[in-house]
Structure 1
Amino acid sequence: MSDTPSYGFDTLQIHAGSRPDPATGARQTPIYQTTAYVFRDADHAAALFNLQEVGYIYSRLTNPTVAVLQERIATLEGGVGAVCCSSGHAAQIMALFPLMQPGCNVVASTRLYGGTVTQFSQTIKRFGWSAKFVDFDDLDALRDAIDDNTRAVFGESIANPGGYVTDIRAVADVADAAGVPLIIDNTSATPYLCRPFEHGASLVVHSTTKYLTGNGTVTGGCVVDSGRFDWSASDKFPSLSAPEPAYHGLKFHETFGPLAYTFHGIAIGLRDLGMTMNPQAAHYTLMGIETLSLRMQRHVENAKKVAAWLEADPRVDYVTYAGLPSSPYAERAERCYPKGAGGLFTFAVKGGYEACVKLVNALEIFSHVANLGDARSLIIHSASTTHRQLTPEQQEAAGAGPNVVRVSIGIEDADDLIADLDQALAKATA
């Protein structure tokens, strides 16, 4: 299929990157379950290894099934290229890897998934990198946090767990002025609700495990490049602008232009970090993406109905859903995310920590799991699980206090979800 802007989202989510298998005519993308690929001859092999020709060498680097997924996600996001990997956490490291060096830092939002806060505040120190956490609503604080060693700004379009919606354009303007890329984790919004490149972001990451796959079967991640950032405008990004010793002095940006970051992700990132997505995971995610727009519409519809019911319930202190008219982010959500504020939010239960535990244990339709974005409705008490490693102050900043539960609203009948919450709240607050 020839991808052009004339095709709508619903068409692209089914067809982008996919062509009938030339050998069999198979309509669905086959699972190419192979580790290696036969070269035509010695010259062909040399050209591939020298990055003079695009093709398949070894499935740690490239695989035909994964390649279709990469093209489809890049197309839906409006990017020039993408690199898929083994998980959303892997995607975050892959995204930073071409940008960072020892002594460099990333400025990140305080409203992030707890695992990301841990990865940025603890794990990346082992690479000699560091992170500064800033409230993205305070643009002056964001400007002040960026220094000569900052190499990226990182936030989530719709933040996990609280459903906070980022004003991507405002944050992108600050990053642009500083000459560093804005990386947006678009997992919770998906390109159906938000395309961060249209708001000024330079790079997008996904945990494809979540809404893109949508069925809770496989883990995966993806890094998408807008192709618009000038990696040679300064000396901050030598991995992309300076000669690469492993490829005889090749300069990625000079050689590959807008695709420099994507080629580096494969030729260096996957080659050396090995965070490879397996072809079966890519296949499941491709099938999930075929119904992405339909599912996201239902997620949003159900989330609005459930959030409104919870907000009116006297057993609930507050609800954080940005799709509610009462939300302090309602105007921003309407402006930046006109198709809806997603299906993820938190609510506080009267009775605190113990009431939250009782609520989780009493639910019947909601599944108590450490995941989101499934077709099923999911719930978790973040303070005792996903955000457990954080300090109480960090938990509160992330919207994961001890009296709060996170819900990922699925595509079931909304009235059934409300009835399940009603009976569980009765037990939790008795």
Structure 2
Amino acid sequence: MSDTPSYGFDTLQIHAGSRPDPATGARQTPIYQTTAYVFRDADHAAALFNLQEVGYIYSRLTNPTVAVLQERIATLEGGVGAVCCSSGHAAQIMALFPLMQPGCNVVASTRLYGGTVTQFSQTIKRFGWSAKFVDFDDLDALREAIDDNTRAVFGESIANPGGYVTDIRAVADVADAAGVPLIIDNTSATPYLCRPFEHGASLVVHSTTKYLTGNGTVTGGCVVDSGRFDWSASDKFPSLSAPEPAYHGLKFHETFGPLAYTFHGIAIGLRDLGMTMNPQAAHYTLMGIETLSLRMQRHVENAKKVAAWLEADPRVDYVTYAGLPSSPYAERAERCYPKGAGGLFTFAVKGGYEACVKLVNALEIFSHVANLGDARSLIIHSASTTHRQLTPEQQEAAGAGPNVVRVSIGIEDADDLIADLDQALAKATA
């Protein structure tokens, strides 16, 4: 379909990037299960390898099924291009790869998924990169943390696990003043609840495993480019502004303009890191996105009802859902996320660690899994699982203390979810 702003979200989530298959007329996007593509002739092959022509070479780099997904996510986010990869964690490395050099750092929010904290605090050291963690509510601390070696600021729109909502515009203004891009992980919000580019972010990452796919079948990740950051404004980003030796001195920003970052992600990132999304995973995710807005509406509706019930229950110490009027972030959520604060939050159980374990074991509808964003309601005790590698101080900062469980509210009947929680809390706090 033609790109036009007149189409609404519900239409774009079904049609963006998708065209009838030219060979067969198939209306659903086919799974192009192939590793390689036949070149027209030697000149065609050379042009593709020189980045003089866009096309398909090898499925580690590009694949027609994955290309439809990339275009659809980029369209829903309001970006110019996207690169899909094998997981959300892969997307984070892919996002940083064109920006960082040994000795450079990323300034990240303290409120992040535990696996991201581990990736940033430990794993990226092996690349010679480092991370500084800052409370994004303290904008002065954020400004002070950014130095001459900072190459990006990173946060989550709706943070995992506690459902904390980031004031993206305020953080983006700080990043802009420092001349570095703001990267927002929009997994928990999805472009239906929040479009970070409209709030000043430069790049967006997703774990497509979660709400975008929505059915718990495949893993995937995506990096989306707004196309608005000037990679040549300083000498901080030579991978995009300086000559690239692997392509005979080609300068990505000079050659590809707003699409420089996206082309680099494919031509360098996927080529050398190999974090490829397989076409079947892309197909499942495309099917999931077709119902994204409908599911997110139900996730939010259910989360509000369940969170309000939990907040009123004497067996619960507190609930972190930003969609509650009592939340310290209620005003921010209403202002920045007017369609809702998502379906993810935590609550603290009276009785601490042991009560949380009993609660998880007693639930019947909720599934005890290390995932979120499924159509099914999910629960996990973060301190003993997803955030286990963190120090107690890091766990508390991330909202994953020992007395806290994380819930991802699904699209079942909300009354059934409440009844399940009720009987499990009775056993956990007896």
- Give TM-score scaled by structure 2 length: 1.00
Determine the C-alpha separation between the residues in 2 that align with 1:392 and 1:5: 47
Provide the rounded CA distance (Å) in 2 between the counterparts of 1:388 and 1:2. 47
The 2-side partners of 1:305 and 1:27 are apart by 38
SS of 1:183's equivalent?
strand
2:273 matched to which residue of 1? 273
Structure 1 CA distance, aligned partners of 2:326 and 2:42?
66
Separation in structure 1 between the aligned mates of residue 47 and residue 360 of structure 2, nearest angstrom = 56
C-alpha displacement at 1:135, in angstroms? 0.1
Q: Distance in 1 between matches of 2:360 and 2:427?
A: 10
What is the CA distance between 1:335 and its match in structure 2? 0.0
| Rounded Cα–Cα distance in structure 1 between residues aligned with 2:183 and 2:317 | 33
| CA distance in structure 2 between the aligned counterparts of 1:11 and 1:54, rounded to whole angstroms | 27
Matched position secondary structure for 1:420: helix
Q: 1:3, CA displacement in angstroms?
A: 1.9
Hey, what does 1:27 align to over in structure 2?
A: 27
Q: Give the distance between the partners of 2:61 and 2:27, measured in 1 at CA.
A: 25
User: 1:50-103: per-residue Cα shift (whole Å, max 9, x none)?
Assistant: 000000000000000000000000000000000000000000000000000000
Mapped partners of 2:159, 2:232: distance in 1: 31
TM-score for the superposition, normalised by structure 1: 1.00
Residue 302 of structure 1: how far off its partner (Å): 0.0
Contact 1:14 1:290 in 2 (8 A): yes
Give the whole-Å Cα distance in 2 for the aligned partners of 1:329 and 1:147.
29
For 1:73 and 1:392, how far apart are their aligned partners in 2?
Answer: 36
Contact persistence 1:66–1:279 (CA under 8 A): yes
Q: Distance in 2 between matches of 1:22 and 1:107?
A: 46
What is the CA-CA distance between 1:250 and the residue it aligns to? 0.1
Give, in whole Å, the separation in 2 of the partners of 1:278 and 1:353.
39
Gaps of 5+ in 1: none
In the TM superposition, what is the alpha-carbon distance from 1:49 to its structure 2 partner? Answer: 0.1
- Tell me if structure 2 keeps the 8 A contact 1:205–1:224: yes
Q: What does the per-residue CA deviation read over 1:151-199, in whole Å, with 9 as the maximum and x for residues that have no partner?
A: 0000000000000000000000000000000000000000000000000
Structure 2: how far apart are the matches of 1:412 and 1:198?
32
The alpha carbon displacement at 1:219 in A equals 0.0
Provide the C-alpha distance between the structure 2 equivalents of 1:322 and 1:142, rounded to a whole number of angstroms: 22
Aligned partners of 1:34 and 1:59 also within 8 Å: yes
Q: Classify the secondary structure of the residue corresponding to 1:348.
A: strand
Post-superposition CA distance 1:198-231 (Å, at most 9, x none): 0000000000000000000000000000000000
Q: Distance in 2 between matches of 1:53 and 1:113?
A: 39
- Once the two structures are TM-superposed, the CA of residue 334 in structure 1 deviates from its matched residue by 0.1
Identity of aligned residues (%): 100
**Whole-angstrom distance in 1 between the partners of 2:61 and 2:190:** 25
Number of aligned pairs?
430
Q: C-alpha separation between the residues in 2 aligned to 1:405 and 1:47?
A: 54
Q: Distance in 1 between matches of 2:88 and 2:319?
A: 27
**Counterpart in 1 of 2:298?**
298
5 Å-filtered alignment, 1:20-419, equals 20-419=20-419
Deviation at 1:351, TM superposition (A): 0.1
8 Å contact kept, 1:207–1:222: yes
- The residue matched to 1:131 in structure 2 has which SS? strand
Q: Distance in 2 between matches of 1:180 and 1:23?
A: 44
Secondary structure in 1 aligned to 2:3? coil
SS of the residue 1:66 aligns to: helix
SS of aligned partner of 1:43 = helix
- What is the CA–CA distance in structure 2 between the aligned matches of 1:19 and 1:269, rounded to whole Å? 27
The offset of 1:120, in angstroms, is: 0.0
Show structure 2 runs of 5+ residues with no match: none
What secondary structure does 2:394 align onto? Answer: helix
- Give secondary structure in 1 for the equivalent of 2:54: coil
1:110-146 Cα offsets, whole Å, 9 max, x none, are: 0000000000000000000000000000000000000
TM-align CA RMSD = 0.1
Question: 1:363-393: per-residue Cα shift (whole Å, max 9, x none)?
Answer: 0000000000000000000000000000000
SS in structure 1 of the partner of residue 91 of structure 2: helix
Contact 1:165 1:341 in 2 (8 A): yes
**In the aligned structure 2, how far is the partner of 1:21 from the partner of 1:145?**
50
Question: Is the partner of 2:321 in helix, strand or coil?
Answer: coil
Q: Distance in 1 between matches of 2:354 and 2:20?
A: 55
Aligned mates of 2:380, 2:311 — CA distance in 1: 19
- Contact kept, 8 Å, 1:3 with 1:12, in 2: the verdict is no
Partner SS for 1:177:
helix
Secondary structure class of the residue paired with 2:147: coil
**Residues in 1 aligned to 2:267 and 2:3: alpha-carbon distance in whole angstroms:** 25
**Off by >2 Å, runs of 4+ in structure 1:** none
Shift of 1:30: 0.0
**CA–CA distance in structure 2, aligned partners of residues 227 and 138 of structure 1:** 28
2-structure distance, mates of 1:3, 1:49: 28
Q: Tell me how far apart the structure 2 counterparts of residues 39 and 362 of structure 1 sit (CA, whole Å).
A: 58
Cα contact 1:322–1:330 (8 A) shared by 2: yes
Does the CA contact (< 8 Å) of 1:175 and 1:181 recur in 2?
yes
Q: Matches of 2:369 and 2:165 in 1, distance apart?
A: 23
